Each structure stands twice: as C-alpha cells, then as structure tokens.
C-alpha cells in the first residue's frame, strides 16, 4: 500500500495561539521569544497519498501562512497548486475563512454537506470561488467519496451545533446532523479519523472509533469552564459545541478504552493548559495521547 501522509497545518482552535486580542498565560507565552511555546495557527489537516496531490480538511483563516510554511503545498509551475480538494467539517469561521485565500482562478473541488454548503451559498463573499474553477460537491452522511485519487473518505454526523455566526436563540448544542461531521479516511486496512469539533461521545461514535489506527480529536478545552475561570469568556466548552478533555465525561476518559493506535488532540483553544508543561499536559501524555503542533506529520505505510 502507498504511504498516506497526515500533516497538521494548524493545531489551534478559532483565534489561534496567540489570539489577536488575548493576553492570557498561553497567549503571552506564545508571544515571548524566550518561551519555548511557539505560536500555532488555526485548525486544518492536509492529507496526501502520493506526496504530490493534497486534500485539505478545513480551510483556516491562516491558510496563506500555512501554505507558505509547507513546501509540499507550494506551486510547482507558473500557476499551480498541489491542493486538489478541500473538505469542510463544519461552517465555523476557523474552518471556512481560508477559502477566501484560495481564490485566483485555481481549480479544486470543495466538498461539503448540504447544510454547510448552504451557509457558503448564503454568504455572497464566497462567490470569489468562481464555479468555473471550483467545483462544489455535496457529500452525503455515511457515504464514501474520493477527495484525491487513491483516497477514500466517509463522513458521519457527530454531536455539534451550527456555526457561531449562524446561531439563533437557544441553538441545539449536541445535534447530530450535517452541521458538524467527522471524517473517516480509509487507508487500505487502516482507519483514520479526523474530528476537530465534537460536543459529546455517544456509544455509537465510540463504537465507530474503537480499534482505529489513528485519531485526530477535538482538544478545544481541558475543562468545560476553562474560559470562564481564565476570565477570557462567558461560555463553557459545551456551549461552544466542544466536549472537554478532562473529567469523568471528558474525551480523555472516553477515548482511553477504545483501543486506538494513536490519538492526537487538535483544535486546541488558546486557553487550554495543555499547551504548556504542567499537570494537565502530563495527564494527557500519561494517557498516551499526543498534543498536535503546527507542522506535525504522521505517516501510515
Ligand atoms: C468553535 O470551534 O467553537 C468556533 O471556531 C468558534 C468561532 O467560530 O469562533
Ligand atoms: Mn473552531
Ligand atoms: Zn489567550
């Protein structure tokens, strides 16, 4: 089988690390050149089966910088891009704003559920992606499709909510539908999952993930009320559609029993203490779970 490469373009959640208007402990550390914590860009994963053609899973507001930092994604001709396709897992700003970077008449395929596609349709700024060049393809839950030659992907609903900017009064916080999806990458007899946003881990989802070879999972907050405690916000993780890492009903405990080969937290909020060495980071690592960083690469042969 060919080698499949997974490249974390951006490990941070919306806002990135540091966030432009935040001076919390982590953001201050990421601005301090004497501190080993490096700045991290917003949530995206690139995947290739041949090293020449790449699919992006989510298009972050930092995409221009991410391409610049990633020689594999540089053009190889006067006008060219190795990016063949973009797949969106939801319509949050940190996952769609990078589409605006991909204007300039470059062909690629854009795969979304119908619900996420209609958010793009309703926002006329996305018309910068000229349909003469960018094919919008609607994907169905629980069906497979190929964002790249040689790569088969299945999408499925995970608990989540509509994008923040689409919220009306009292949004459903852990709805299972087309607004928030997980990605299954079928690599020969290996199964890899990319789930950067997930509000809960019901048994159906746990059963799906059981025995996976590799999982990239929502590591937004360590504790549900972390932003409130840090004084940086009034929302819990769950109110934002993200289950916490810690606690009896957190992801670390739930994933620990699923016999997953390698688990990596992604979409990590700038308030999350796992960015720095400390008890929270140690708890994650002691459970055998990794913390993503920009440029992290994992290959499956
Ligand atoms: C989230 O993951 O909760 C969103 O990225 C929040 C946002 O849109 O700022
Ligand atoms: Mn996000
Ligand atoms: Zn901060």
The alpha carbon of 93 and the centre of ligand 2 are apart by a number of angstroms equal to 7
CB-CB contact of 7 with 45 (8 Å): yes
> What does the pLDDT average to over 142-150?
97
The alpha carbon of 255 and the centre of ligand 1 are apart by a number of angstroms equal to 23
From residue 20, how far is each of 15, 27, 137, 258 by CA, in Å?
Answer: 7, 9, 34, 37
* Calpha distance 20→174 (Å, rounded): 29
Query: 268 CB less than 6 Å from ligand 1?
Result: no
CB-CB contact of 228 with 234 (8 Å): yes
pLDDT of 301? 86
Query: 173 CB less than 6 Å from ligand 1?
Result: no
* Calpha distance 178→162 (Å, rounded): 9
> What does the pLDDT average to over 19-32?
98
* Structure confidence by residue, pLDDT tens digits, 216-249: 999 999 999 999 999 999 999 999 999 999 999 9
Query: 94 CB less than 6 Å from ligand 1?
Result: yes
Q: Which residue has the tokens 């140690």?
A: 282
* Calpha distance 103→134 (Å, rounded): 9
Kindly provide the b/e burial profile for residues 214-239, where b requires at least 16 CB atoms within 10 angstroms of the residue's own CB: bbbbbbbbbbbebbbebebbebbbbb
The alpha carbon of 116 and the centre of ligand 3 are apart by a number of angstroms equal to 28
Q: Which two tokens stand for residue 295?
A: 């440029």
Query: 97 CB less than 6 Å from ligand 1?
Result: no
Q: How confident is the model at residue 145 (pLDDT cuts 50, 70, 90)?
A: very high
> What does the pLDDT average to over 38-63?
98
> Could you identify the atom of ligand 1 that is nearest to the CA of residue 197?
2
> Could you identify the atom of ligand 1 that is nearest to the CA of residue 14?
5
pLDDT of 109? 98
Take atom 3 of ligand 1 and give the residue whose Cα is closest. 240
The alpha carbon of 142 and the centre of ligand 1 are apart by a number of angstroms equal to 25
CB-CB contact of 60 with 98 (8 Å): yes
Q: How far is CA 35 from the centre of its chain?
A: 26
> What does the pLDDT average to over 24-35?
98
pLDDT of 285? 98
> Would you give the DSSP letter of residue 132?
T
pLDDT of 1? 53
* Structure confidence by residue, pLDDT tens digits, 73-121: 999 999 999 999 999 999 999 999 999 999 999 999 999 999 999 999 9
Cis peptide before 90 (omega within 30 of 0): no
Ligand nearest to the CA of 241: 1
Ligand nearest to the CA of 164: 1
| Best CA proximity match to 292, nearest among 274, 266, 269 | 266
Q: Write down the mean pLDDT value for the chain.
A: 97
CB-CB contact of 18 with 9 (8 Å): no
Take atom 6 of ligand 1 and give the residue whose Cα is closest. 14
* Structure confidence by residue, pLDDT tens digits, 252-264: 999 999 999 999 9
First to last CA, the chain: 7
Q: Provide, rounded to the nearest whole percent, the portion of the chain with pLDDT above 90.
A: 98
> What does the pLDDT average to over 192-202?
98
Query: 93 CB less than 6 Å from ligand 1?
Result: yes
> Could you identify the atom of ligand 1 that is nearest to the CA of residue 163?
8
Query: 92 CB less than 6 Å from ligand 1?
Result: yes
DSSP codes of every residue in 78-96: SS--SEEEEE-S---HHHH
Take atom 9 of ligand 1 and give the residue whose Cα is closest. 14
Q: Is 228 helix (H, G, I), strand (E, B) or coil?
A: helix
The alpha carbon of 101 and the centre of ligand 3 are apart by a number of angstroms equal to 25
The alpha carbon of 79 and the centre of ligand 1 are apart by a number of angstroms equal to 33
The alpha carbon of 276 and the centre of ligand 3 are apart by a number of angstroms equal to 12
């Amino acid at each position: 089988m060919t080698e499949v490469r997974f490249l974390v373009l951006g490990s941070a959640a919306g806002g990135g690390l540091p966030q432009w208007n935040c001076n919390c402990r982590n953001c201050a550390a990421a601005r301090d050149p004497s501190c080993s914590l490096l700045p991290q860009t917003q949530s995206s994963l690139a995947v290739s089966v041949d090293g020449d053609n790449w699919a992006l899973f989510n298009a972050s507001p930092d995409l221009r910088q991410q391409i610049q930092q990633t020689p594999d994604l540089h053009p190889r001709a006067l006008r060219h891009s190795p990016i063949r396709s973009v797949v969106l897992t939801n319509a949050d700003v940190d996952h769609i704003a990078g589409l605006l970077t991909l204007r300039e008449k470059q062909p690629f395929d854009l795969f979304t559920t119908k619900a996420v596609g209609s958010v793009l349709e309703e926002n006329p700024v996305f018309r910068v992606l000229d349909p003469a060049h960018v094919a919008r393809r609607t994907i169905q839950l629980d069906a497979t499709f190929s964002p790249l030659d040689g790569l088969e992907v299945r999408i499925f609903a995970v608990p989540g909510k509509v994008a923040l900017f689409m919220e009306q009064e009292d949004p459903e916080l852990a709805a299972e539908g087309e607004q928030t999806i997980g990605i299954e990458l079928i690599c020969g007899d290996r199964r890899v999952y990319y789930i950067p946003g997930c509000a809960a881990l019901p048994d159906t989802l746990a059963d799906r993930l059981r025995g996976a070879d590799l999982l990239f999972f929502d590591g937004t907050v360590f504790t549900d009320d972390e932003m409130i405690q840090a004084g940086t916000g009034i929302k819990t993780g769950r109110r934002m559609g993200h289950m916490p890492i810690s606690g009896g009903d957190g992801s670390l405990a739930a994933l620990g029993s699923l016999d997953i080969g390698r688990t990596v937290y992604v979409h990590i909020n700038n308030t999350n203490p796992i960015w720095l060495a400390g008890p929270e980071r140690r708890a994650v690592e002691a459970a055998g779970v990794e913390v993503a960083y920009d440029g992290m690469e994992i290959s499956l042969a």
